[in-house]
Amino acid sequence: MKPGKKLAVARKFAAPSLGQKELARVLGVDTSSVGRWECTGHIPGSRIAAASQAVGVPVDWLLDGIDSLPPKHQPNARDAFPDGEAGSFIRGDEVLLPTWRGAIAGDGECEFFDTESPELSSVPAFLAGNDPNNHILCIASGASMFPRVQNGEKVVVRLDRNPPNNSIVIARRPDGANFVKVLRQNPRGVLELHSLNPDFNPITNLEGWELRGYAVAVLHSYEPGQANIEWDSGRPLKST
């Protein structure tokens, strides 16, 4: 992970009250400069020491290139649990994924916008397998995929421009909005995007649309005594 990306992580975990505007004021630069550092990952060498001091992290951590939380915020491993994917989750192993947050749509669709301002969210590491750089996290907003994906729930997505048929996918409309849908092929062999909520009509004209990837996990709202993670060992989640 580049220094600028780690700076965004440090602000979130080590200095949550320090926004880009406040950090820019401390460093004597424009807010747009901090946004650019966090977006591109590059921080000018003359600003590295001051930036690390401002957010309370060591310079070495900011420059080590490793995807990790700040030193004081590393998850504690509990060695009493077995190794493996489930053991990794129980120990608290996490990975940080870029986040596309749901935009509230008037028609109730599950809609997202990926922006230039980086936001990172932590999820259990096993959900991204051995390739976290090709995964993102979506936070749902809307009712079109009810009851499979409900408002506010998180969807872990593997980026892939050729997702399999009948899988839950992320598709981008020409205006940049991203939708959670089911990819289906009609009898004529033409791809369509379908909702699981019968109140929503399928999207049949995909001209200008772009398939972004497929869902590998859904983190449902927590309910005591019930499993809240839907996951199929990294395989695409199907509509049924």
In this prediction, residues 5-15 reach a mean pLDDT of 82
Looking at domain 3-73, what is its CATH homologous superfamily? lambda repressor-like DNA-binding domains (1.10.260.40)
Stretch(es) of the chain classified as CATH 1.10.260.40: 3-73
CATH architecture, domain 85-231: Ribbon (2.10)
Judged against a pLDDT cut of 80, whether residue 163 lies above it is answered with: yes
Given a cut of 60, whether residue 200 has pLDDT beyond it is yes
pTM of the model: 0.61
Give the pLDDT of residue 98: 82
Which residues of the chain are in CATH 2.10.109.10 domains? 85-231
Average pLDDT over residues 137-161: 88
Residue 224 has pLDDT above 50, yes or no: yes
CA 169 centroid distance within chain:
14
By CB neighbour count within 10 A (0-12 exposed, 13-18 middle, 19+ buried), where does 203 fall? middle
Task: Round to whole Å and give the CA distance between 116 and 158.
Answer: 19
Query: 61-65, 86-90, 169-173, 226-230: lowest mean pLDDT where?
Result: 86-90
φ and ψ at residue 189, rounded to 5 degrees: 85, 10
Interval 15-33 mean pLDDT: 83
For residue range 46-56, what is the model confidence (pLDDT) as tens digits? 999 889 888 88
